[in-house]
A and B are shown apart, each in its own frame.
Chain A
């Protein structure tokens, strides 16, 4: 079945560092890909998405490019801030199942 694998956390960085969180997927067909973010004490919210190969999703300085050849959707940000501390989930929606398939989440902590 469809699956998503994220780099294991936790990830700890200093403010203004470059961020990469790796995400790879396995799916039949051509899924849509998402990054969701969960701030402490809150539900998940959409950060960005891409619906077809080579699309780049971007929001709040974060970017991710849908790479069909490597089945990847890595999340990047050039200069992180303390307020980016959260748990990040990679997800896909595709194949026959009408539901999101989530990765295990990566906890990110940014120190001032």
Chain B
């Protein structure tokens, strides 16, 4: 299996632009998580899905952030409009349901907003 796939790996954009991050979870995994990692705040859970349905989006910082999962093999995290404080590494992770299972992380997207 290729693991969790994220694209792009690096994104540089200007303030005010729309940014879309993409994630393909491991086939058969029914939970998908989006995280943000910064030096200041560490690792933060933004939102997670179960069977393509958003379960908890309490970590989404504000209305500029939105996430979708149209099918079991694809999810997007969109920021519109982007701001410099959104600069971070964004990780996607997936797991097959069950508290003892391993959560697999993608390699991350490093976002820089100028």
With known contacts A99-B45, A102-B43, A42–B99 Cβ distance under 8 A = no
Which of B4, B43, B48 contacts A105 (CB under 8 A)?
Answer: B43
With known contacts A32-B100, A44-B91, A49-B100, A98–B50 Cβ distance under 8 A = yes
What is the CB-to-nearest-CB distance from A102 to chain B, in angstroms, rounded to a whole number?
Answer: 5
A-B contact count (CB 8 A): 49
Which of B45, B102, B104 contacts A49 (CB under 8 A)?
Answer: B102
**Is B99 a contact of A45 with CB atoms below 8 Å?**
no
**Is A46 a contact of B107 with CB atoms below 8 Å?**
no
How many of chain A's residues have a CB under 8 angstroms from any CB in B? 19
Which of A43, A89, A93 contacts B99 (CB under 8 A)?
Answer: A93
Does A81 interact with chain B (Cβ within 8 Å)? Answer: no
**Is B42 a contact of A45 with CB atoms below 8 Å?**
no
8 contacts between A and B (CB under 8 A): A31-B99, A43-B93, A43-B106, A44-B43, A51-B100, A89-B43, A98-B99, A99-B33
Q: Could you list 4 further interchain pairs (A-B, Cβ under 8 angstroms) beyond the known A89-B43, A104-B43?
A: A43-B4, A51-B99, A97-B56, A100-B45
The 7 A-B residue pairs whose C-beta atoms are closest, nearest first, are A43-B105, A46-B102, A93-B99, A44-B105, A51-B100, A32-B99, A104-B42
Interface residues of A (CB under 8 A from B): 31-32, 42-46, 49, 51, 89, 93-94, 97-100, 102, 104-105
Interface residues of B (CB under 8 A from A): 4, 31, 33, 42-43, 45, 48, 50, 55-56, 91, 93, 97, 99-100, 102-108
